[in-house]
Amino acid sequence: MGSHGQKSRVRNWTLGCALCVSAMGLAACGSGSSSPTSTVRSSPTTSLASPTTTTTGGSTTGDHAAVVNAWESAQQTLYGYLQAPWQQDRANLVAGQTAATLWPDLANYFVDPALKSEQTFLVGVKMGQLNGPTSFDLGTPKVSALTPTTATLTGCIYDTGTTTAAGKPGPATLDGGAGSGQGSWMLQLIGGSWKIASFKTSSVAKCP
């Protein structure tokens, strides 16, 4: 946690390190080297729960619920992977396995560019030898815009942040320290399932 209880949940670093997912420069990417602290986190613009599905013919209330359910499943899946011990994942990455094979359920809930962003984020956490957040709170997300094939969801997430083996907060770029991140997520209806395509969040002192 920062001195004022704010989280700098930055994933812009993934843009400059995206090749780490497919190349064996993993150790350099996840070494925990410092980078400027920012309060903005985003994806590039453009066996867990099964994918949530919906149809365009349902009621507005039903469609909103389907979008929220898909978003919550996506976040729960991501946190599930984050909370898994880093040791085996790191060993598998060093041995040549890819993010897509190590964390296959992400593809159930994310599509590029958000999918690539979250995969690269996980690579950084595992190669940085960081422990995932011990707890998280997804708050009360709301659908702010909806069309038959796209949706925008706003929300605020609190978590306890990543930590080192010594129990200190991880780098700000890798979700280090407890705090909250508020933002928006754009979802697309693909093959009957709502999936997160892009997102942008910034740190706040406390979720509403």
| pTM for the structure as a whole | 0.77
Q: Quick check: is 109 in a domain?
A: yes
Q: Quick check: is 3 in a domain?
A: no
Q: Return mean pLDDT, the chain.
A: 80
| pLDDT(202) > 90 | yes
Q: Quick check: is 181 in a domain?
A: yes
Burial zone of 71 (CB within 10 Å; 0-12 exposed, 13-18 middle, 19+ buried): buried
Q: Quick check: is 8 in a domain?
A: no
Q: What CATH number is associated with residue 124?
A: 3.10.450.50
Backbone phi, then psi, for 175, in 5-degree steps?
Answer: 65, 35
Q: Which DSSP helix (H) or strand (E) runs through 89?
A: helix 86-94
Which residues does 87 contact at the CB level (< 8 Å), separation at least 6? none
Q: Give DSSP secondary structure letters for 138-170.
A: ----EEEEE-SSEEEEEEEEEE--BB-TTS-B-
- What angle, rounded to 10 degrees, do the helices at 60-83 and 114-127 form? 20
Closest by CA position to 50, among listed 101, 100, 108? 108
Tell me the residue range of the domain where 164 lies: 13-32+40-204
Number of domains into which the chain is organized: 1
pLDDT in tens, 2-22: 333 344 444 433 333 333 433
Give the residue-averaged pLDDT of 34-49: 42
pLDDT in tens, 124-165: 999 999 999 999 999 999 999 999 999 999 999 999 999 999
> 194 - beta bridge partners?
189
Q: Quick check: is 7 in a domain?
A: no
Determine the pLDDT at residue 118.
Answer: 97
Distance of CA 46 to the CA centre of its chain: 17
Q: Quick check: is 194 in a domain?
A: yes
